[in-house]
Structure 1
């Protein structure tokens, strides 16, 4: 959720290093109009669904690449998006934003029928002091949502009446992407200004209050920069991270130790162009499908478009298998 991260003033200046040898494949290039695409998920029958912050809606990508409205309209900015094919639903976070065309209303976590686009359920925050951004799923169907403005991570258990606080964060925390281990034991989340953090879900879903004793970022390899990360996705026992808070934007493959308490290896899969404010994505087989150009660079500090005809937003596919080099 780049808009809140930008407000935190975190732009880290590190050298670009060598760009990746592999090139991502373009799957979607939107029309040259302000849309501000934040997230992407796989919908029914194989169609991709993207979320638009500026238009405050979801859009389905047709076989010919055209976009058509999907699901609810007339709400507000649509941010994180996650598909739960086992239950036939999509989850999307909708929040107030200066970059949309709607009046502000409380943030919502929406459960949407993946086949019809109808809203099955909506879970609204109390008041306007919350911004639901990234969304992640646990193997049991629990939905996790990052509230960057409220500095919390929430968990909605299957059948639950409302999302409950899982982590209450301190200081200038700006929670972003999340990834859950395959067994549902660990949740790792990105705090834009401090790095990656782990929550032990085996302790239950009672709120952890880190306001008095801040949580400690996961250690990584010496010199590895793990701040400025937006999107996270699990890839087997590894995590794929999309880093847009550094001068050179990156897609990283992170190897963790057995209990997800440390990052043991950090490998850039893609660095620099064509990445331009990449945001979030999902893992499909041995590939990452992600928003590689979001159009955040085409919106000003006031949240308004700086051009009526910006370059298209782009959804790309990137191989996660290391290339063999001679």
Structure 2
């Protein structure tokens, strides 16, 4: 989650599994069972802009069943939907009364879009009702959303990213008070499940196969591994030349490969992160070639490409959400690259 500094709270390792479950949905076109050839699917544009300036785009998610990409906005307090071969349109409704919308994720098993939401000074409608910090669930087939608010406990909270697991449990990271939240089926509120001394500024998430181990991006620590059965947390050993600070989003693209967005260092980068599954370490973090990424946030895998928000709009506002003098707001921009080798 890309936020001004005001909002960022400034042993033996786990042996990792051989593959990853999708924190980001999508991927290459499926094979035709009879011919082995790739099945064509409706096309998404390689790049596009949001419909108005100053919205502050933050999260992306892809629904492979509906062939649609979803984009969240913080200042706009809106979720947009871009269907393949279609037009970008508003998905959420004003009646939903969303706060700022941060991370998005698709539960492909149950047909839900999950959104991490919360108020910040940057909201375009500060005088309007801005609900508190919550997970919001939308049925992809249609119908009203359902809110799962984070209970007030006297501490500041802001859910920056969200990830549904195969069993229906939803995990979310808190970027103000470093806590890993968990919402199990049937619960009405996310519970502050895990608070570990290694947590500093939690960001993106990805699950290892079998849904037993959760990877977390931490702005200061790099990549952390959480054993879900015990709550045990370990920091993955970084490469010798890179401490992996400033990571934001995580997406898997192969058995031992992640794509990460990095916006806590200059310049902003997309990284190909290779895991050493035996040693419990990050073997390499390789920058990928892209155009300038002046204001990078999160990304997702969709139809053989990695989509990312390269110009989000955070840089156009100060920490109090006020437009910076002399800076003309521009529409947020989503770009993409072909998936690199896995």
TM-score category by the smaller chain? 0.7 to 0.9
Asked whether 1:38 is paired with 2:58, we answer yes
TM-score by length of 1: 0.82
Q: Which residue of 2 aligns with 1:211?
A: none
Poorly superposed stretches of 4+, deviation over 6 Å: none
Task: Give the stretch that moved more between structures: 48-57 or 151-160.
Answer: 151-160
Unaligned runs of 5+ in 2: 11-44
Matched residues, number: 299
Q: Which residue of 2 aligns with 1:67?
A: 89
Q: Deviations over 1:35-65 (max 9, x none)?
A: 0000111246322221110021212236554
Shift of 1:263: 0.5
Alignment of 1:195-214 (within 5 A): 195-203=222-230
* CA 1:171–1:83: 2 relative to 1, 3 Å: closer
| Aligned residues of 2:9 and 2:200 also touching (Cα < 8 A) | no
Task: Give the stretch that moved more between structures: 43-52 or 187-196.
Answer: 43-52
Task: Give the stretch that moved more between structures: 134-143 or 162-171.
Answer: 162-171
Alignment partners' CA distance in 1, 2:278 and 2:212: 9
| Aligned residues of 1:59 and 1:69 also touching (Cα < 8 A) | yes
Asked whether 1:98 is paired with 2:118, we answer no
Structure 2 residue matching 1:297: 3-state secondary structure: helix
Q: Which residue of 2 aligns with 1:219?
A: 237
Shift of 1:4: 5.8
Q: 2:298 aligns with which of 280, 291, 300?
A: 280
| Aligned residues of 1:107 and 1:124 also touching (Cα < 8 A) | yes
Alignment partners' CA distance in 2, 1:233 and 1:108: 23
| Aligned residues of 1:106 and 1:130 also touching (Cα < 8 A) | no
* CA 1:164–1:277: 2 relative to 1, 3 Å: same
Structure 1 residue matching 2:66: 3-state secondary structure: helix
Structure 1 residue matching 2:53: 3-state secondary structure: coil
Q: Deviations over 1:264-316 (max 9, x none)?
A: 12221236x42122111222354212212211111122212337952221122
Alignment partners' CA distance in 2, 1:322 and 1:3: 31
Alignment partners' CA distance in 2, 1:227 and 1:219: 12
Superposition RMSD on alpha carbons, in Å?
2.7
| Aligned residues of 1:28 and 1:65 also touching (Cα < 8 A) | no
| Aligned residues of 1:32 and 1:309 also touching (Cα < 8 A) | no
Q: Deviations over 1:116-164 (max 9, x none)?
A: 2521343333257211111122232321100111210112223334323
Q: Which residue of 1 aligns with 2:26?
A: none
Unaligned runs of 5+ in 1: 11-24, 209-214
Q: Which residue of 2 aligns with 1:262?
A: 281
| Aligned residues of 1:230 and 1:280 also touching (Cα < 8 A) | yes
Q: Which residue of 1 aligns with 2:262?
A: 243
Shift of 1:5: 5.2
Asked whether 1:2 is paired with 2:2, we answer yes
* CA 1:112–1:5: 2 relative to 1, 3 Å: farther
* CA 1:267–1:6: 2 relative to 1, 3 Å: farther
Alignment partners' CA distance in 2, 1:316 and 1:279: 11
Alignment partners' CA distance in 2, 1:169 and 1:223: 26
TM-score by length of 2: 0.78
Task: Give the stretch that moved more between structures: 118-127 or 75-84.
Answer: 118-127
Asked whether 1:116 is paired with 2:161, we answer no
Alignment of 1:140-219 (within 5 A): 140-170=167-197, 173-203=200-230, 217-219=235-237
Alignment partners' CA distance in 1, 2:182 and 2:62: 22
Q: Deviations over 1:204-259 (max 9, x none)?
A: xxx66xxxxxx653212211240001111122222211000111111111111226
Alignment partners' CA distance in 1, 2:245 and 2:173: 16
